[in-house]
A and B are shown apart, each in its own frame.
Chain A
Amino acid sequence: MTPAGWIFMLLCWTAIVSLLAFSFSRIFKK
């Protein structure tokens, strides 16, 4: 995998995990 591929994959993964953590943490906090 090229460096650009790694960066792109990690960016997308980070964004999705952040969105997941944000939304579920808010749901469980209620």
Chain B
Amino acid sequence: MTQKNHAAQKPREKWGTRIGLVLAVAGNAIGLGNFLRFPVQCANNGGGAFMIPYIVAFVLLGIPLMWIEWGIGRFGGKYGHGTTPGMFHYLWKHPLAKYLGAIGIAIPFGLVVYYTYIESWTLAYSVFSFTGKYFGIQNHQGMVDFLSAYQGKTVNGYFNGIGTAYLFFLITLGLNVWILARGISKGIETLCNIALPMIFVFGVILLVRVFTLGAPDPAFPERNVWNGLGFIWNPDFKALANAKVWLAATGQIFFTLSVGFGAIQTYASYLSKKDDVVLSGLAASSANEFAEVILGGSIAIPVTVAFFGLIQTQQIAAGGSFDLGFFAMPIIFQKLPWGQFFGTIWFFLLFLAGITSSVAMAQPLMAFLQEEFKIERKRAALIIGAVTFFCMQPVIFFLKFGFLDEMDFWIGTFGLVVFAIIEVIIFIWLFGSKNAWKEITLGADIPLPKIFYPIMKYILPAYLAILLGCWLYQDGIKVLTMQGVPPENYPYIWFARFMLTGLLGTTIILVRIAWQKPHLIQRRIPS
């Protein structure tokens, strides 16, 4: 039997256990954003009052969209399709459907291209914490220079080129490829069964350490952990009148649950047709919220307030997630007893959160190559590794010209919402709301409250359309017209756009090629 025929006749992979699936979906959702982006967003947008729009968005947008994606995924899986081109093909019998589904492969793969690089920084910083490489740098500017030299933007006494960053990038990419090559159960499920408990244990250790700090400097008693928690939780209800706060909270729900990525559908496609999706989706979401609100909200910002005070923490939070994670935290670890240990587990926690997300984002392309092109699993993983390596070069070498930021806006902000709107329209409106409801509730272990029917049909698409409109108005025009971008960066920004267009175009062409082999697409009849 040839390798090709062997691959064609192999049954689809399955999850080993249900808890393994829930941990894998939770691992997909729990990423760097839970520990760095959430506390910064919370602190910058009204503290405790931020949680009101956050909860509203969780109930009206996050959870319904998550159930929709689980439903679409399990539906596609029974036709032998683990990616959205095949899923949309059966949901909406229109020639355009499969091409719209191509976005659900291009988006997660585009994210892999730059996310894996950021993920490699966390691994590097974990090693640097263990060896104490940055110990001795006691101020913010020193840490900025340290990261800048690590990224190859400048040269200093710590790094004389991009070699170290490149080495960690290769290790991270190699680990991702190795896990993907091992498959769904032996690779991704095993990783998440180990990584998720470790994330929670490390998170709780760090939380206990932070909560027992009190006021570390007796000269500044107001710099304490409780004031740090207050910075996040004290409600400023005036902030609720600000549309930006609602937009930020909704965006955070999108990122944190990893909806609109195309990855949940692929994971859910490995379910059996009567496996529950309602309870599993709820369990994965609640695990994500635990990691984000309880762990993520209690570590970085409170400890920063305890060491730097409220005013400086406000400046750090205004600088964004990287300022908090890569500049402030390393300085804090130097002031803590056992700082090397806490620094090591903090950055390793971030790395684990990152890798469980990056393998999930690469899996749609894996499934596409395996199922639609009959490429054997290990070969598909190597192809993905090679393409990621190739596409990541400009991200690494043009970082200082805004290449990564440009990709992040079009994929990580704009693309997610556009794809979410497309999938909601196809599943709820074109496949039919009653069919969609039946599909989601099939085999459910808990009853799905009927209130979610009108939410999915009317409120969710309206919510998404408003979100997209607001983002386009607030940031889209600015990014599109390159406002505030130095003219010397223009060629790199255009190159990023060209690469993104090429990525989407190539995926569409691959879908077209796959669909020119109708015997491969139409052969699967659901039982």
Please give the residue numbers on chain A whose beta carbons come within 8 Å of chain B beta carbons, in ascending order.
1-2, 4-6, 8-9, 12-13, 16-17, 19-20, 22-24, 26-28, 30
Contact = CB atoms under 8 A, between A and B. Distances in A.
Contact of B233 (A8, A19, A20, A27): A8
Given A19-B282, A27-B18, A27-B22, A1 B229 contact: yes
Given A20-B286, A23-B282, A23-B283, A4 B235 contact: yes
Given A5-B233, A13-B294, A19-B286, 18 more contacts: A1-B227, A1-B229, A1-B233, A1-B234, A4-B48, A5-B47, A5-B48, A5-B229, A5-B230, A8-B48, A8-B233, A9-B229, A9-B233, A23-B283, A23-B286, A24-B283, A27-B22, A27-B283
Most buried by A among B233, B282, B287: B233
A21 B455 CA distance: 25
Given A1-B229, A6-B233, A27 B293 contact: no
5 contacts: A1-B234, A2-B234, A16-B290, A19-B289, A26-B279
B445 A9 contact: no
A19 B59 CA distance: 13
B41 interface: no
A26 B230 CA distance: 34
Given A2-B234, A27-B279, A17 B290 contact: yes
B226 interface: yes
Contact of B234 (A4, A13, A22): A4
Interface string B3-44: 000000000000000110010000000000000000000000
B56 interface: no
Contacts of A16: 286, 289-290, 293-294
Contacts, number: 69
Nearest to A16: B289
Interface in B195-240: 226-227, 229-230, 232-235
Nearest to A28: B19
A5 B47 CA distance: 9
Contacts of A6: 233
Contacts of A13: 293-294
Nearest to B237: A4
Instruction: Classify the interface of chain B: helix, strand, loop or mixed.
Output: helix
A30 B234 contact: no
Contacts of A9: 48, 229, 232-233
B313 to A, nearest CB: 14
Contacts of A28: 19
Interface of B: 18-19, 22, 47-48, 51, 55, 226-227, 229-230, 232-235, 279-280, 282-283, 286-287, 289-290, 293-294, 445-446
A10 to B, nearest CB: 9
B18 A20 contact: no
Which 3 A/B pairs are nearest by Cβ-Cβ distance?
A1-B230, A23-B283, A5-B234
Contacts of A5: 47-48, 229-230, 233-235
Contacts of B229: 1, 5, 9
A1 to B, nearest CB: 3
Given A16-B289, A23-B286, A8 B279 contact: no
Nearest to A25: B283
A24 B279 CA distance: 9
Given A1-B226, A9-B48, A23-B282, A30 B235 contact: no
Contacts of B283: 20, 23-24, 26-27
A8 B282 CA distance: 22
Most buried by A among B229, B286, B294, B445: B286
